[in-house]
Amino acid sequence: MATTITEHEAEQVAEANRTGLQPVVFVHGLWLLPSSWDRWVTLFEEAGYTALTPGWPDDPETVEEANAHPEVMAKKTVGDVADHFEEIIARLDKKPAVIGHSFGGLLTQILAGRGRSAVSVAIDPAPFRGVLPLPISTLKSSRPVLGNPANRNRAVPLTYEQFRYGFANAVSEDEAKQLYHEFAVPAPGAALFQAATANFNPWTEVKVNSKNPERGPLLIVSGEKDHTVPWAVANASFKKQKRNEGVTEIVEIRGRGHALTIDSGWREVADTALAFVRRFV
């Protein structure tokens, strides 16, 4: 099978192996690109780690390119992306820490369940099969995609108003607009449809092996004011995961919404993740 790893991603792997440092792999979620982790990369590398920011398969390099050509991002499934990240991790000399946000948090747990991470941090993670709560705010946040069945085969952008509700409800109007223009890109509808039907599909790709003894330590981070993945969803994931023999913890970041990894308060979240990773690698 042909590789999905880009030249840039292969260079990141080679550089991580060359340094001999502990690698940290960052996994972005829907409506964002790898560049959303740039400040985190600086923080973790200053702390002595080597950072990798792979994209989802066919991710454009910039927000401008993604918004101009959304079609290249369409039809990507959770399985496609998980396998892509697993292929990258398999090329690393050391088992990495993995940190993901939103759908990246789901992917982080999938990779941990495959025994691919030394330690994991899932930030406002999208739910997997067996996570049952479905709050009204989650339904409203996903309506821009799930409201039209044709979106399964499309990459769907958010309007500013939709981004404001689903991501940037806990920041000022000015900051919300700045975040929207700096970070927001279309997202493949296929993944969201998969998540929406996971509890009705025994063969779904949106499943996590939470009992694997090789899962490693896991921290789930929840933003108190998150509309897209509220506490009820994050805590239900935690309850599934804490059955694992490894360390499993959850923390709520007060006053924060779904944009907590990219907004002006990102450092508190990053420091929380860094402290957890440092305990184990």
The pLDDT value given to residue 82: 98
Per-residue pLDDT tens for 11-67?
A: 999 999 999 999 999 999 999 999 999 999 999 999 999 999 999 999 999 999 999
Q: Indicate whether 65 belongs to any domain.
A: yes
Instruction: Supply the angle between the helices 266-280 and 38-46 in degrees, to the nearest 10.
Output: 40
Per-residue pLDDT tens for 222-254?
A: 999 999 999 999 999 999 999 999 999 999 999
* Whether the predicted pLDDT of 1 surpasses 80: no
Per-residue pLDDT tens for 52-88?
A: 999 999 999 999 999 999 999 999 999 999 999 999 9
Residue 134 is part of which domain span? 7-280
Q: Give kind and range of the element (H or E) at residue 221.
A: strand 218-223
Q: Residue 22 CB: number of other CB atoms within 10 A? A: 21
Q: Is 264 helix (H, G, I), strand (E, B) or coil?
A: coil
State the total domains in the chain: 1
The pLDDT value given to residue 8: 96
Predicted confidence band of residue 144 (pLDDT cuts 50, 70, 90): confident
What amino acid is encoded at 99 in this protein? I
Furthest CA-CA distance within the chain: 48
* Whether the predicted pLDDT of 143 surpasses 90: no
Predicted confidence band of residue 268 (pLDDT cuts 50, 70, 90): very high
> Per the structure block, which two tokens stand in for 211?
């009992």
Q: Indicate whether 1 belongs to any domain.
A: no
Q: Indicate whether 192 belongs to any domain.
A: yes
Q: What gap in Å lies between CA 231 and CA 133, rounded to an integer?
A: 10
Q: Indicate whether 259 belongs to any domain.
A: yes
Distances (CA, A) of 103 to 17, 20, 48, 258: 27, 29, 27, 11
Q: What gap in Å lies between CA 63 and CA 53, rounded to an integer?
A: 15
Q: Indicate whether 265 belongs to any domain.
A: yes
Q: Indicate whether 48 belongs to any domain.
A: yes
Predicted confidence band of residue 279 (pLDDT cuts 50, 70, 90): very high
Query: Domain containing 186 — which CATH number?
Result: 3.40.50.1820
Predicted confidence band of residue 132 (pLDDT cuts 50, 70, 90): confident
* Whether the predicted pLDDT of 207 surpasses 80: yes
Q: Indicate whether 84 belongs to any domain.
A: yes
pTM of the model: 0.97
Q: What gap in Å lies between CA 55 and CA 147, rounded to an integer?
A: 26
Q: Indicate whether 2 belongs to any domain.
A: no
First to last CA, the chain: 33
CB-based contact 86:96 (threshold 8 Å): no
